[in-house]
Amino acid sequence: MKRTIFLLGFICFSIINSSAQTFNRQDSLLGSITPERSWWDLKHYKLEVTVDPNTKSLQGSNTIRYRVLKSHDVMQIDLQAPMEIDSIIYRKKSLSFTSEGNAHFIRFTKKQPKDSDEQLTIYFSGKPRVARRPPWDGGFTWQKDTNGKFFIANANQGIGASIWWPNKDHPYDEPDQGVRLSITTPKDLVGVGNGRLVGTDENDNSKTWHWNVSNPINNYGVNINIGDYVHFGETYSGLKGDLDMDYWVLRENEAKARKQFQQTVGMMEAFEHWFGPYPFYEDSFKLVEVPYLGMEHQSSVTYGNNYGNGYLGNDLSGTGWGLKFDFIIIHEAGHEWFANNITNQDVADMWLHEGFTAYSENLYLDYHYGKNAAADYVIGTRRMIQNDRPIIGTYNVRHEGSSDMYYKGANILHTLRQLLEDDERWRAILRGLNKDFYHQTVSSAMVEQYISKASGIDLTEFWEQYLRTTMIPLVEYKVDGNQLSFRYEDIIKGFDMPVIALVNEEEEWIFPTSEWKSKTFSEKIQSVEIKRDFFVNSEKLE
């Protein structure tokens, strides 16, 4: 059973790619900030989509507003086949474009002037890729509920938002003023998007649902969900005032949802405590039921965990603590702080999303069940760690690091908390990250430097070792009477993280390096153990 759960976790969390990786021109076009992307700064998307469930097709338009940073006349827009661009309209005239795979290059008739605010509209249509294994192998999911009504959603983390709508599909640039999202559905269904419902239109044979996001949003967070939804909600009195919490679930599941979603307030309380105010009060918080496990769509977290605790009923940590909460409510909502508020500039640094959010699971437990429960859980999740590849991937080619970004990420943050030896200070750092990088895209290097500075600990080798190699530091030690000798193996040059050793069950800080060092104790040493909270291996040499 343990093995099954382990495999389940592995399969579910392994995102893409084997270790031997070669990159092609398409990877560079999609994964780098090309000259055709860098000259314009996104301001706003107005995305209108009509969804036809019978033909599994979409038709729509995206009006992109942007500021010209540098005068240029070619713009890169991404849209993945089989979706197609039908036309591009700029100042009432049609623009031509050339395509290189999924990257499309729009040609303006003359260079756009620096500092001007511009907009163009792209009309598109097609049958978007059907998701094979959502949310990991993404696309659209077309299902029916038990009453025979259509139940439709998209999930496209990794593969990219351009799987269904044309946009600047790179995480470094977000629309500063948000997104207006209009979803047209058959009359008997409800379309739910991100942000707030600001209006509906009754058409002859359809209905249009207008949603508004007023904050910057990452592309992969933009989502549409269609079903026979019912709505209920509550108001949470939080750190920035009243927060609207809304729930959209299938009619058949309303009773279950009303019970299971009672956890949401406790989630919000725990995360506001650890990370500071929910980052999108203006846009509200939502849980939306979908026909796949779930995803961190900003201000509309999607949910498909069968209204039960754990991860589809399993405890990823194997300690029992993972059954105290609904994994999808806690984990995906944790991403509102790490992924949606603080977003990676390049997916190579996606551990900023998944490492901090996997770590948030234990902070939720810490808040409600105490420090030991939290430690049990995060240490328990070490069984998911593969050590196959480094946590950080390859930059500029849309390449994510190892799935170890989740629980190795969580465990190095748990180790850092020990190094600080000051939980209030640690909490201030986590809140500081969310305040100082509020609504920004950042690199891992920026976060590494921030934590080094805020903690007063030079973490250069710490980050290098844990994020950029697969080596787990090994503490070797020998006991001779009253004397304990120790050193590190499996480390990079200069790695010298102190750890707590339990010597005769008493806590003692020791400071191993690559060289043997000794420490003499007043009594004969009967037992030695490295405190479990530090993510290191240890071995006694005879």
Q: Which positions touch Zn ion (CB under 5 A)? A: 354, 357
Q: Is 492 exposed, middle or buried (0-12, 13-18, 19+ CB in 10 A)?
A: middle
Using CA atoms, how far apart are residues 321 and 226, in angstroms rounded to an integer?
A: 34
Cα–Cα distance measured from residue 154 to residue 160, given in angstroms and rounded to the nearest whole number: 11
Residue 107 backbone class (left: φ over 0; alpha: ψ -120 to 50; beta: rest): beta
Closer to Zn ion at the Cβ: 406 or 486?
Answer: 406
Cα angle 146, 152, 153; round to 5: 135
Helices 327-334 and 263-275, axial angle in degrees (round to 10): 30
Q: How far is the CB of 253 from Zn ion (least distance, A)?
A: 23
Closest by CA to 353, choosing from 393, 381, 385, 380, is: 393
What is the rounded end-to-end Cα distance, in angstroms, of the chain? 36
- Residue 470 CB, shortest distance to Zn ion, in Å, is 21
CB nearer Zn ion, residue 226 or residue 316: 316
CB closer to Zn ion out of 119 and 386: 386
**Minimum separation from the CB atom of position 424 to Zn ion (A):** 27
- Residue 289 or 354 having the CB closest to Zn ion: 354
Q: Edge-to-edge strands of the sheet including 285-289? A: 229-238, 241-250, 285-289, 301-303, 294-295
> What element of type H or E holds 412?
helix 404-420
Give the distance between the most distant pair of CA atoms in the chain. 88
CB of 9 to Zn ion, least distance (A): 13
Sign of CA dihedral 164, 169, 172, 173: negative
Name the strand (E) or helix (H) holding 86: strand 84-90
Q: Which is nearest to 334 in space by CA: 348, 318, 352? A: 352
CB of residue 354 to Zn ion, shortest distance in Å: 5
Q: Looking at beta carbons only, is 78 or 400 nearer to Zn ion?
A: 400
In the complex, least distance from residue 361 CB atom to Zn ion, rounded to whole angstroms: 10
The residue (of 246 and 296) whose beta carbon lies closer to Zn ion is: 296
How far apart CA 201 and CA 211 sit, in angstroms, is: 12
Distance CA 336, CA 354 (A): 11
CB nearer to Zn ion: give 220 or 236.
Answer: 220
Query: Which C-beta is closer to Zn ion: that of 354 or that of 366?
Result: 354
Kindly state the smallest distance separating residue 35's Cβ from Zn ion, in Å.
32
**450 Cβ neighbours under 8 A, 6+ residues apart:** 429, 432, 433, 436, 437
Closest approach of Cβ 331 to Zn ion, in Å?
A: 6
Tell the smallest beta-carbon distance from residue 410 to Zn ion (Å): 11
**Of residues 182 and 403, the one with the C-beta less far from Zn ion:** 403
**Judged by CB, which is closer to Zn ion: 319, or 357?**
357
List of residues 6+ apart from 94 with CB closer than 8 A? 87, 88
Structural contact between residues 275 and 251, judged by C-beta atoms closer than 8 angstroms:
no
Name the minimum Å distance from CB 357 to Zn ion. 5
Q: How far is the CB of 295 from Zn ion (least distance, A)?
A: 8
The answer for residues whose C-beta is within 8 angstroms of residue 468's C-beta and 6 or more apart is: 390, 391, 392
Cα distance between residue 32 and residue 173, in whole Å: 12
Instruction: Please state the separation of Cα 238 from the chain's center in Å.
Output: 23
| Residue 196, strand partner residues | 212
* Nearer of residues 321 and 327 to Zn ion, judged by Cβ: 327
* Residue 149 or 335 with smaller CB distance to Zn ion: 335
Peptide bond before residue 82 is cis, with ω within 30 degrees of 0: yes
Report, in Å, the least distance between residue 13 CB and Zn ion. 9
